[in-house]
Structure 1
Amino acid sequence: MASLGSAPDDVSRAATVLPVGRVSALLGIPAVTLRTWESRYGIGPSARTSGLHRRYTVADVDRLRRMQELIGRGLAARDAAVLIDQDAAGRPDADGSATNTELLLSATESLRTTELDDLLQNCLDQRGAAQTWTEVVAPAFRRLEARFAGQGDCTDLELLLSRTFEATIERYVYRRGLRPSGGRPTILVHCPEERHTLPLTVLRAVLLERSQPVLTLGPETTTFAVRDFVRRVNPAAVVLWASITRPGQAELRRRVADGDHRTYTAGPGWPPHAEPFTNLSEAAATLTVRRSARLF
């Protein structure tokens, strides 16, 4: 957590409690705003005087300064408070993942699409597809989903982030020249009418990073076309992705399962008894075909 740093000399860490007026003057934040942050987000004073008057500790002021910095970067106050709570719970990310998630949300909320694309591309270059998804992008989606549950105002932001990341991954795969090394492929299938295509785009990139052969069929592909394609390709595995339950999924699974390949389900649209993949690392580990080590 950031320290007071630039606080005036007369406010030392020996001064363990401060009234709201003093904190307001110190940070340049109106007292009414400080009280709003306390009532709405729980970012407030934690100490009490002998007369039970609430007072800000130096740690409280650190949190307020952090709140001020995050809002100054473009984060909504609610999202900034969530991030501060995560820090307090002992989940800071030493490798910069939390900071990248903040910047990602800031660029998304401010509709700075060029900055958003650059940030995603840098993360992919530095971390690869799996870590970028798990450590940076997925936490951003979780924050947006939590905000939607509370306010219902960010469907457009989720769509912007999803489409931008999907396009950036496709460029990343092309620019890196990721290619399979041969063998029977895995076929990734979007169930009919599926609109959430990002998860399989990420999984495809992760498998290609591991030199795994992989093919993808979009949601416009009919059940019979999927069946015929599977028969023609003779894959090692087929993955059926569904974000929600729709008619025809069970029939698709039944028709695709006929063959000597493995058939997997993935996504929240499948019931528990279908044993779907529930996260990227599980899917990637299961679908990665181990090969003998090569000497170069």
Structure 2
Amino acid sequence: MTTGALARRLGVAPTTLRTWERRYGIGPSHRDQGRHRRWSPTDVARLEDMCRLTARGVAPSEAARLALSGTRPSKSVAPPGGSRPRGIGSFRDLPLGQVWPESRGLARAAVRLDSAAVQAQLRSAIDTYGVVVAWEQIIAPTLHAVGRKWATADASYVEVEHLLSWHVSTTLRSTVTVPGDEFPPILLACMPDEQHSLPIEALWAALVERGLPTRIFGAAVPAEALQSAVRRIGPCAVVLWSQSRHTADVGVVRALLALEWGMRGARSHPLALPAGPGWESAPSEQPGAGRLTGLASGLALLESLFRTVRTPTSTPPPTPDPDPDPDPTRHGAT
């Protein structure tokens, strides 16, 4: 294997592999004529052992010594002092199932709380595959596995989930450049009590990656603030994310569908698009509302909708009403 491929498999940065080779002598057994490193199956097995040991809290120098000596890591191995990190074992404890190698590499890095490796894995995935494939095949499966492990292991793995979520959010926001708005944008928001915003952040990044004008308001947007934003912006669609059933409020959808803006005789209404598992058991949508069921399919629907909006033969969208509330302090602005 090449160094880059091995780094993705192990969930470490390539610079980490070079550092381990320089400091601890745990390097590749072969170099080709161009002096490029090539890692044999034996080399890979040693580094996998080292990663398992460091994930259990063993110092890298001791982990390298054990890996090079052929001593197989056991559950009894503990860091100096006789204690192991609370409740954390190997990434193999995560319920990943059948996933891409990049997902396993990301899980390894997250369990070790290796921020640099997590960031490198995420950046490489998005640069290589694009936002949609990276999210559906690599990021989301890892997030779900960590979440399921957290749910069944008391407070264990909560730090893994928080670190991974932070870097996913940071990488999504730093990967794309926001385009200018020439047409009514797509508005993305979480429901008023919904704190989980990563899925719509992925949708935002995928839309921006395709050059579509988008506004995102993130987690827990109050219903009144959302209605005010819709009247001011006049979006071509509003996506409402709900992760859990208790945040899926059909009343918010109905209120949005009742809004209108523009000149008399040419009034416009928003298209409301509930998204997320929270809506699965909600009552049927009102007329004028659809539902997004996945990132790829939802993105295709929104792209199709936006092409319709910006078709030259279509009627130009009416200008949204100005902010009906001229006093910004009324909503807590400073």
User: What TM-score bracket applies, with the shorter chain setting the length?
Assistant: 0.5 to 0.7
Shift of 1:261: 2.6
| 1:252 corresponds to | 252
What are the equivalent positions in structure 2 for 1:1-296 lying under 5 Å apart?
29=72, 75-79=90-94, 86=98, 98-152=100-154, 153-173=156-176, 177-180=177-180, 182-246=182-246, 249-258=249-258, 259=260, 260-270=269-279, 271-272=281-282, 273-274=284-285, 276-288=291-303, 289-290=306-307
Aligned-pair identity in percent equals 26
- 1: distance between equivalents of 2:159 and 2:253? 32
Shift of 1:250: 2.4
Conservation of the 8 A alpha-carbon contact between 1:182 and 1:212: no
More displaced stretch, 284-293 vs 110-119: 284-293
- 2: distance between equivalents of 1:149 and 1:132? 24
SS at structure 2 position matched to 1:269: helix
Deviation track 1:11-57 (CA, whole Å, cap 9, x = no partner) reads xxxxxxxxxxxxxxxx8659x98xxxxxxxxxxxxxxxxxxxxxxxx
Conservation of the 8 A alpha-carbon contact between 1:244 and 1:268: yes
Q: Which runs of 5+ in 1 are unaligned?
A: 7-26, 34-73, 87-91, 93-97
Q: What is the total number of aligned residue pairs between the two structures? A: 213
| 2:37 corresponds to | none
Deviation track 1:112-162 (CA, whole Å, cap 9, x = no partner) reads 111111211121111111111011111112322342354342232122211
- 2: distance between equivalents of 1:290 and 1:76? 43
Conservation of the 8 A alpha-carbon contact between 1:180 and 1:208: no
Conservation of the 8 A alpha-carbon contact between 1:189 and 1:217: yes
- 1: distance between equivalents of 2:129 and 2:248? 38
Q: Structure 1 179/106 Cα, relative in aligned 2: closer, same or farther at 3 Å?
A: same
Conservation of the 8 A alpha-carbon contact between 1:180 and 1:214: no
Give the AA of the match of 1:121.
Answer: R
| 1:67 corresponds to | none
Q: Structure 1 247/28 Cα, relative in aligned 2: closer, same or farther at 3 Å?
A: closer
- 1: distance between equivalents of 2:41 and 2:223? 62
SS at structure 2 position matched to 1:285: helix
Q: Which runs of 5+ in 2 are unaligned?
A: 1-39, 43-69, 76-88, 261-268, 312-334
Q: TM-score normalized by structure 1?
A: 0.63
Q: Structure 1 29/119 Cα, relative in aligned 2: closer, same or farther at 3 Å?
A: closer
SS at structure 2 position matched to 1:203: helix
- 1: distance between equivalents of 2:272 and 2:162? 29
Kindly indicate which of the two structures has a greater share of residues assigned to helix: 1
Conservation of the 8 A alpha-carbon contact between 2:256 and 2:272: yes
Q: TM-score normalized by structure 2?
A: 0.57
SS at structure 2 position matched to 1:212: coil
Give the AA of the match of 2:158.
Answer: T
Q: Structure 1 29/121 Cα, relative in aligned 2: closer, same or farther at 3 Å?
A: closer
- 2: distance between equivalents of 1:181 and 1:125? 25
